[in-house]
Structure 1
Amino acid sequence: MPLTDALNFTAGLRYTTEKRSLNAEQILGGVPVPPSNYEQEKRYSKPTWRVALDYKITPDVMIYTSYNRGFKSGGFNPTTPGEDPFKPEQLDAYEGGIKSELFDRKLRFNLAAFYYNYKNIQVPYFLINTIGLKTGPKATIYGVDFDFEAHPFQQLRLFGGLSLLHDKFGHYPDAALSPPNPPPLGGNQSVVGDATGNRLPFTSTFSGNIGAAYEIPVGDSKITLNGNLYHNSGFYAETDNLRRQPAYELVSGSIQWTDATGKLTVSVWGKNLTNEAVVTMLAASGFGTGASYQPPRTYGATLGYAF
């Protein structure tokens, strides 16, 4: 809703209600374990909203601020059907920043600062025989995001971005921890301990990318060269902050030919060209630590046609 020629106000309200149910049976050696049947049902309802103001300093430069509330419903862990359900997660997100397109739209850059306040954050846990979600404490994340796209001349496009994050759990004295067993034993313990102030799983202090695309005319067709470099400072995989993915870089690129109509394309591409080993999961168990990884070096060719 415009308040003036330059100032706009946005507001939205949503009400969500979700019903979660669990019907489970525990069987050991083909024999039901009493109580063998678990039937639970829970309804989660919550209003959420968005409120925002934006102001155009010039036709090409806008500043804005916003406040959003979101929620994720709670639920049940099928691996531990006798437990109480984990609680719904609530997020209050505050953001402010600037969006701009300058020099006859040859340069676009956006900058945002944000503060996220989580309540009852749903924390994944990996214990010796179970995997699931549990109700965690409060948690905060704040930082800045920046991205840009520039066209120094017609054939060249430069792009990139970065993100700086600070995050930590609040008071969390009953976290699920998995410290290694003392030598000469292998594997890990499964204990309850204090994770207050620890980093959230899979959050990185710094990440960023830089890339370029260059077009080469070939008669009435064209060839486009693309390259991108992504850097991540690393992250912890679990609440106890004991197992970490080190810093890494991912390199990708492609060469694409486009015909004179702009509809037919043929491209050769490669992802993770340096073959970095990057985890998507690290899970401690009584026998050791299991891991799954992003795809290794991958390459191929693609034929496309736009109708």
Structure 2
Amino acid sequence: MPRRSKGNGFTHRLNLQYKPAEDLMFYGTWSRGFRPGGINRQPSAPAYDPDYITNFELGWKTRLGPLRWNGAVYHQIWKKFQFSFLGENSLTVIQNGRDAKINGIETDVGYVAGGLTLNAAASLTSAKTKGNICQSILDDDDCSTSYTVTPSGTRLPITPRFKANATARYAWDLGAGKAHVQGSVTYKGSASTDIRQDRTGAGDNPNDYLGRLSSSTLVDAFIGYDWSRFTAELFATNLFDERNELARFVACSICTQTRVLPGRPRTIGFRIGARF
């Protein structure tokens, strides 16, 4: 039987700014976006609807001599958010949840003086479901005719609560060109893998065998030289060979053996370039 998916959405962005001083600015943003729905390849899975996100944000941008400080706090409402999982015959199924509420704060600081440049940024995010996700999309809020796949208040997967990074760079004149050294540190907190807490209605939580994405701290280092129209740089990324994880998954819908997609291991290299 033919299936169709139909939806419509309206996006907007309203931004207000207030600048009480030359180096100080406050702003507020109200914006909305949507993602189209579609049809699942799984024959027994119904079509999924569009999802919508509304963002309310208050922020500031300020500069005091060589110091720059920016930041923002935000509240987002994600309506009927789409999420995916492996269904029957290991075909990916996309389904709508109910809603999610995302609150967060982010900030970045920069300092430039002579040849020294310092930058640091961090974000703190609370992202949770609002309303039970039921096995049947036709069920009521209490999942009385099917069962609760994800209870209200569950943290959204993949998104860590805390992230931060910092970079330091120093450049100086050397001979006919300019040399530089740079180091950076990036931290990402732990996060759950699957939004579902009960896959079958019998307490089968996929996160019990998938585990959590582990936290990681990556360090990169660079030393280089620029002259005329040429550049040369020696670099080492993931200097301490951290086993960071990008994803955790299973190969089929009934599998429980977890596969881990790792990030790039320690990489040391040399690159040279020319500007034309």
283-292 or 232-241, which moves further after superposition? 283-292
Query: Are 1:248 and 2:216 matched, yes or no?
Result: yes
Following superposition, the deviation at residue 82 of structure 1 comes to 4.2
Query: Are 1:76 and 2:39 matched, yes or no?
Result: yes
- The 8 Å contact of residues 111 and 145 in structure 1, kept in 2 or not, is answered as yes
Q: Deviations over 1:195-250 (max 9, x none)?
A: 32111111111110111001132112111111110111211111136221122101
Q: Distance in 2 between matches of 1:142 and 1:212?
A: 30
**Higher normalized strand content (fraction of residues):** 1
2:236 counterpart SS class: strand
Following superposition, the deviation at residue 175 of structure 1 comes to 5.6
Name the aligned partner's letter for residue 267 of structure 1: E
Q: Distance in 2 between matches of 1:75 and 1:297?
A: 40
Q: Distance in 2 between matches of 1:77 and 1:267?
A: 48
- The 8 Å contact of residues 68 and 92 in structure 1, kept in 2 or not, is answered as yes
Of 13, 38, 57, the residue aligned with 1:50 is 13
CA RMSD of aligned residues (A): 2.0
Q: Distance in 2 between matches of 1:133 and 1:223?
A: 51
Following superposition, the deviation at residue 119 of structure 1 comes to 0.4
- The 8 Å contact of residues 222 and 234 in structure 2, kept in 1 or not, is answered as yes
Name the aligned partner's letter for residue 20 of structure 2: I
Q: Distance in 1 between matches of 2:231 and 2:35?
A: 41
- The 8 Å contact of residues 173 and 194 in structure 1, kept in 2 or not, is answered as yes
Query: Are 1:282 and 2:248 matched, yes or no?
Result: yes
Partner of 1:109: 69
Partner of 1:294: 263
CA 1:71–1:54 in structure 2 vs 1: closer, same or farther (change >3 Å)? same
- The 8 Å contact of residues 6 and 49 in structure 2, kept in 1 or not, is answered as no
Q: Distance in 2 between matches of 1:146 and 1:154?
A: 24
Following superposition, the deviation at residue 145 of structure 1 comes to 0.3
Following superposition, the deviation at residue 127 of structure 1 comes to 4.3
Q: Deviations over 1:127-167 (max 9, x none)?
A: 4623232111200111100001101x311100010001111
Q: Distance in 2 between matches of 1:126 and 1:201?
A: 16
Q: Distance in 1 between matches of 2:109 and 2:94?
A: 37
Identity percentage over the alignment? 26
Structure 1 segment 234-245 matched on structure 2, within 5 A: 234-240=190-196, 242=207, 243-245=211-213
TM-score w.r.t. length of structure 2: 0.84
- Number of aligned residue pairs: 250
- The 8 Å contact of residues 92 and 118 in structure 1, kept in 2 or not, is answered as yes
Name the aligned partner's letter for residue 62 of structure 1: M
* Structure 1 residue ranges without an equivalent (≥5): 1-37, 177-190
Structure 1 segment 1-307 matched on structure 2, within 5 A: 39-78=2-41, 80-103=42-65, 106-127=66-87, 129-151=90-112, 153-174=113-134, 193-240=149-196, 242=207, 243-259=211-227, 261=228, 263-284=229-250, 285-287=253-255, 288-307=257-276
* Structure 2 residue ranges without an equivalent (≥5): 137-146, 198-206
- The 8 Å contact of residues 119 and 168 in structure 2, kept in 1 or not, is answered as yes
